[in-house]
Chain A
Amino acid sequence: MSMEPTPEEIRDHRVYADFGLTDAEYELICEKLGRAPNYVEVGIFSVMWSEHCSYKNSRPVLSLLPTKGPHVLVGPGEGAGIVDIGDGQAVAFKIESHNHPSAVEPYQGAATGVGGILRDIFSMGARPVALLNSLRFGPLSDGRNRYLFERVVEGIGGYGNCVGVPTVGGEAVFDDAYSGNPLVNVMCVGLIDHDQIQKGVAGGVGNPVFYVGPATGRDGIHGATFASEELNEESEERRPAVQVGDPFMKKLVMESCLELIDSGIVVGIQDMGAAGLTCSSAEMASKAGNGMELYLDRVPCRAEGMTPYEMMLSESQERMLFVVRPEHVDRAREIFERWEVPCVEVGKVTDDGRLRLIFHGEEVGDLPVRGLVDDCPVYERAVERPGYLDMVQSAETLNDPEIAGVQELTAALKAVLADHTVASKRWIYEQFDHMVQGNTVQAPGGDAAVVEVQGTRKALAMALDGDGRHVFLDPYEGGKATVAEAARNLVCVGARPLAVTDNLNFGSPERPEIYFQLHQSVAGMAEACEVLKTPVIGGNVSLYNEHAGQAIYPTPVVGMVGLIEDRDRMIGAGFRGDGDLVAVLGATGADLGGSAFRAVLHGAVDGAPPSVDLQAEARLQDTMLRAVEAGLLSSAHDCSHGGLATTIAEKAIAGGRGANVRLKGDLRGDHHLFSETTGRIVVSAPPEAKEALEAIAADAGVPLSWVGEVGGEELTITVNDELGIESAVADLRDAYEGAIPRRMEKA
C-alpha cells in the first residue's frame, strides 16, 4: 500500500492545495469535521467541492436562468431534466462536456463523454433515443488540430455506434480560439413514461446499496478536479487521469439497469460519473436526507492493493449505484446475472446523515453528507467589463472595399461555403451511426434532427447551437442569439420548442473579465429563454478552458428539444419542388459584425454583432409554426452564418435544385448577400400557398418578402437587379461538401 500523508502532514504541507482546495476551504472542512481530515476525506471533499461537482463559481450565475414551466416534470439538480410530451410520455435530456480529457486523449476523452451522458439519461429511467455533439477545434490547417478533430470524431463514433444510440446531429466550429483547448460537448435525449421517472435517492434506512458494473481501477482519479483547472504543459503528464470507456459493457449495464427500473423495484439509482463512488453515494444520501455506510472491501477492484482513497475517487467507467428494499435483492441479482453484469452489495442506507467508509473492519472515513453536497462555499466573483469589447465593437465593419461583380461575389460565396465552420459536416456524421433504432427521419445536416416516437404520430426535434464569436463580441446579445437560434432551428423543421439544456464553456472565472462574459451571456440566455418560453431543465458548466494563458471564446452551448405533434407535418431545409416560390421571413439589416463573411473574406473577427429583438423573434417563430401547421411550406432553413446567399445556396444543395432569387433593399450588394441579421428564415412554398402565408405573416406583423422561385440546376441571385451570384448548384455543392474531406485527406 502506498504511504499516505497523515492529517497533520496534509495540513502542514498544504497537500489539499494540490487537490485544488484553498486554505479557507480547508479550514471550513476542519470546522465541519471538528478535526483535520485524513487523506481519503480531504480527497473526497476536494472533488465534491470542485467546480465540476459543486458549481461554486457558477451557481450565482445559473440562478438567473428560468427553470420552471407547466410542462417541466424534472428540473435542474437531477441527472437530467424531464419535460412532458403528452400521452403520459416525457423526454429526458442533458448536455455534458468532456473538454479537458479530450484535449489530452481525444479518443477516450470523447468516448467517455458519450458514456457519461448516456448514464445520466438511463439512470433517470429513460431509454436513450438520440445523441448529439457540439465540437470546437482550432483551424484544420494545423496538424495537431486535425489529429484532435479526427480522434474526437472517432471516439464519439466508437462509443456511440457500439451502444446502439443514434448520433443524429450537432455542430462543429473551427477557430483559432480553440487551439489547445478543444470543446467536446455531448447531449443525450431519452424517452420515458411519467410513471417510470427515477430519482437518485438513497431512501429507506437499512436498505442495501448495490454497485453495478465493471471493477474499479485507478483510472480517472481526480478527473473532476482536473476538469476544473486550466490546461498547461503539465496537462499532458496528467494522462493517467483520463478514463478508458467500454461501450460493450455500457450497453449491458444500460439494458440491465433499464430492465431493473422497468421491474419497478428500484428505490433510487444514480450513475457514477465525475468523482465516481464519492459523488454518487453522497448525493443519493443527501437527496434522501439520509446517510450511507460503504464497505470498501466489497468494492470490486481491477488492480491489487487499491486504497480507500483510490476506490472513492476513481472514475472508472460504466458503473452505477442503486438502492432496493431487502425483499427485492434476489430479483435484482437475477436481472444482472442474466446480463452478465457484476452487481455487488457494497453498503447500506443509514439515518445519521454521515457517509462512513469501512475498510478491513476499520472506519477510514466519516463525513457529513450535507457538508459534502450542500455546504461548499459559493463564490461571487469580481466582474469587470473586458477592455477588448470597446475596441472590437467599434470596428467599422461596413467600410471595407465592396466586393462587387458576379465572379467576385460568386467566388466569395464559395469561399464562405468552403469555410470549415460553414461547410457540410458529412465527413463527421457519416462516421456516426445516425440511423440505428430506425426512428431517424431527419438525418444530420439540416437545421434540427428529428426522431420519431414509436407507436405515436409524434416526433422529437433537437438542435445544438453555440456561437462563441458572437458571445465574444457581445456577451449579452450573443447569449440571446444562441438561444434564439436553437429555437429557430427547431421551428424550421416544424417543432414547438420545449426546453433547454445548456453547457457553459468559459475560461477561468477567477478573472473578472471572464466572469463578466459568463454573467452577461447567461443573463442574455435567461432573457431569451423567458421570452421564448423554453426553461432550462439542466446543464453543465465547464470553466477553466484556457491554454497557455489564453481563454477560449466564451461558448455557451444550447441544446434544445422540440415536439412535432404530427410527424407528417415535418419539413426539411432543402428546396423540394420546381416552381415553388422562395420567401424570406424577417428583415435584413447591415449586420456584418462577427460575420462569417468578414472572417472568411476580410480575415477579421470584430464589429458589433447583430442584436436580437426577442419579441420579433417570438413572432417569427410563431408564424413559422402556424405556417407549418397549415401545411403551407415545402421547406424552411434558418438564416445564420453566411447570411442569405449561404442559406439559399444550402437550400439548393440540400434539395438538389436551383433557384432564381431577386433581392431588393438599400444595402450594398455584398452586405445584402452576407449580412447576418438574426431572426430570419428562408422558406419555399407552392404558389397556391402564397396568399395564406402572407395572411399569417401579416397577422403577426412579420416581414415577408417573396424573392424568387425554385427550379433548374443553377442558382442565380440578383441584388437590386444586378447579378450577384451565378453558379451551377453542383459547383456550390463541391465547395460545400468537399471542403472538410479535402482538408483531411490532404493530411
Chain B
Amino acid sequence: MKAAVITFPGSNCDRDCLRALEEIPGCEADSVWHADQDLAGYDLIVLPGGFSYGDYLRSGAIARFSPVMAALKREADRGVTILGICNGFQVLLEAGLLPGAMRRNQSLKFVCKPCELVVDRADSRFSSRFQEGQTLQVPVAHGEGNYYCDDETLKRLHGEGQVVFRYADNPNGSVADIAGITNETGNVLGMMPHPERATRARLGSVDGAEIFGAIFDFVSAGGKS
C-alpha cells in the first residue's frame, strides 16, 4: 500500500500518522507538502490532525483552499481511500467532501482523553476488522469536534449507512453521537478521534492500528471490500 500524509502549515499529527502507517508491514508512506499538486498513485491519502492555519477563521476553512486540495478532490472522485482525522475531518467538511460542519465543543473547552467508540458499521473499508456494535478505545483531542448537520442530512447519513463510528459517551455534543462518517460512496472517512494515537499497547490501545489495518486489507485485496 502506498499512502500519503498531507502536511498543511499548522498540521501537527502528520508525523504521528506517518509513523503509524510505517509500522504496518508492506505499507509505504510519503509526507506530502500542502503546496504539491499531484497525488496520483496513492492508495490512501491521510489528512492529519492539528491546527492548519492556526484554525483561524474556522477549523479547516483556510486549508481547504491549499493547492493540494484540488488533487485530493480528483482522487476522491476516482474512489481513492481518504481518511481525515480531527483537523483533517474539519478540512473535509469545509471542502464539501463530507456533509455537515463542526462547532465548538459543547463544554467550550478543548478535550483530550481516551474515548470509547461504538462501531456502527463493520462493512466499510475502514472498519472491516471490527464487529458491528464493538467498542473501541481511541483518544480524542479537539476544541471543535461538535458535529452538526440538519435533520434531513442526518436521516440520509443513517439511511445510507454513512455513520461508521459513534461515541459511547459523547465528549463534545455532536448530533447523534457521531464520531466518524463516510461520504455516500464510502471511500472518504472523517473522524474526530485519533487512530494514530492508539497503535501500541503502551499508549493504552491498539484499536487505531486496526483502522489503518482495515484500509491495508482493502487495498491489498485489490481495492474491493
Contacts and interface: CB of A to CB of B under 8 A. Distances in A.
A705 interface: no
A164 B9 contact: no
B110 A431 contact: yes
Interface in A230-267: 246-249, 251-252
A10 interface: no
Interface string B39-66: 0000000000111011110000000000
A435 B54 contact: no
A318 to B, nearest CB: 12
B87 to A, nearest CB: 10
A467 interface: no
B10 A248 contact: yes
A431 B112 contact: yes
A441 interface: yes
Given A157-B110, A430-B112, A430-B113, A247 B51 contact: yes
Contacts of A430: 109, 111-113
Contact of A567 (B54, B194, B202): B202
B111 A246 contact: no
Contacts of A158: 110
Interface in B169-223: 194, 196-197, 199, 202-203
A440 B10 contact: no
Interface stretch (B11-19, B24-32, B96-104, B119-127): B11-19
Given A161-B143, A162-B55, A435 B9 contact: no
Contacts of B55: 162, 248
Between A339, A340, A441, A567, the greatest number of chain B beta carbons within 10 A of the residue's beta carbon is seen for A441
A163 B56 CA distance: 14
A158 B15 CA distance: 21
B199 A162 contact: no
B112 A434 contact: yes
Interface string B129-165: 0000000000101010000000000000000000000
A438 B9 contact: no
A639 B113 CA distance: 27
B13 A436 contact: yes
A161 B203 contact: no
B141 A436 contact: yes
A163 B12 contact: yes
Contacts of B33: 338
Contact of B141 (A161, A248, A252, A339): A161
A433 interface: yes
A440 B203 contact: yes
Interface of chain B, helix or strand or loop or mixed? mixed
Nearest to B112: A433
A252 B50 CA distance: 13
A615 interface: no
B202 A252 contact: no
Contacts of B19: 438, 454
Contacts of A161: 51, 110, 112, 141, 143
Most chain B C-beta atoms within 10 Å of own C-beta, residue among A161, A435, A440, A567: A435
Contacts of B109: 154, 430-431
A510 B203 CA distance: 49
Nearest to A163: B12
Interface in A156-171: 157-158, 161-164
Interface size class of B (residues with CB under 8 A): 20 to 34
A6 interface: no
A162 B144 CA distance: 13
Given A248-B56, A435-B194, A441 B203 contact: yes
Contacts of B56: 248
A435 B141 CA distance: 8
Among B55, B109, B194, the most chain A Cβ lie within 10 Å of the Cβ of B109
A299 B55 CA distance: 28
Interface in A394-450: 429-438, 440-441
Nearest to B202: A441
Contacts of A157: 110
A158 B199 CA distance: 26
A429 B110 CA distance: 10
Contacts of A452: 202
B51 A248 contact: yes
A249 B54 CA distance: 8
B99 to A, nearest CB: 27
Contacts of B111: 430-431
Contact of A248 (B54, B112, B113): B54
A435 B139 contact: yes
Nearest to B10: A248
Contacts of A162: 10, 12, 51, 54-55
A166 B9 CA distance: 18
Contacts of A163: 12
Nearest to A167: B112
A30 to B, nearest CB: 46
Nearest to B20: A438
A438 B196 contact: yes
Contact of B53 (A248, A339, A432, A437): A248
B113 A438 contact: no
Given A251-B12, A434-B112, A164 B197 contact: no
Contacts of B13: 164, 436
B51 A433 contact: no
Contacts of A454: 19
Contacts of A436: 12-13, 16, 49, 141, 197
Q: Which of A246, A430, A437 is most buried by chain B, counting CB atoms within 10 A of its CB?
A: A430
B197 A438 contact: yes
Interface in A242-294: 246-249, 251-252
A169 to B, nearest CB: 13
Contacts of A248: 9-10, 51, 53-56
Contact of A247 (B15, B54, B139): B54
Contacts of B10: 162, 248, 251-252
Contact of B12 (A154, A164, A567): A164
Interface in A434-474: 434-438, 440-441, 452, 454
B194 to A, nearest CB: 7
Contact of B50 (A164, A249, A432): A164
A340 B53 CA distance: 12
A436 B89 CA distance: 17
Contacts of B202: 441, 452, 567
A435 B197 contact: yes
Nearest to B197: A435
A231 B19 CA distance: 48
A163 B11 CA distance: 9
Contacts of B143: 161
A161 B140 CA distance: 12
A340 B113 contact: no
A249 to B, nearest CB: 8
A212 B194 CA distance: 33
Contacts of A164: 12-13, 50-51
Contacts of B196: 438
A189 B33 CA distance: 27
A349 B55 CA distance: 39
B160 to A, nearest CB: 32
Nearest to A249: B54
Given A161-B143, A430-B111, A431-B110, A437 B15 contact: yes
A430 B109 CA distance: 9
Contacts of A440: 203
Given A438-B203, A452-B202, 17 more contacts: A158-B110, A162-B55, A164-B13, A247-B54, A248-B10, A248-B53, A248-B54, A251-B10, A251-B51, A430-B113, A432-B110, A433-B110, A435-B112, A435-B197, A436-B141, A438-B199, A567-B202
Interface of B: 9-10, 12-13, 15-16, 19-20, 33, 49-51, 53-56, 109-113, 139, 141, 143, 194, 196-197, 199, 202-203
8 contacts: A248-B56, A338-B33, A340-B9, A430-B113, A434-B112, A435-B197, A436-B49, A440-B203
- Which 4 residue pairs spanning A and B have beta carbons closest together? A164-B12, A248-B54, A162-B51, A438-B16
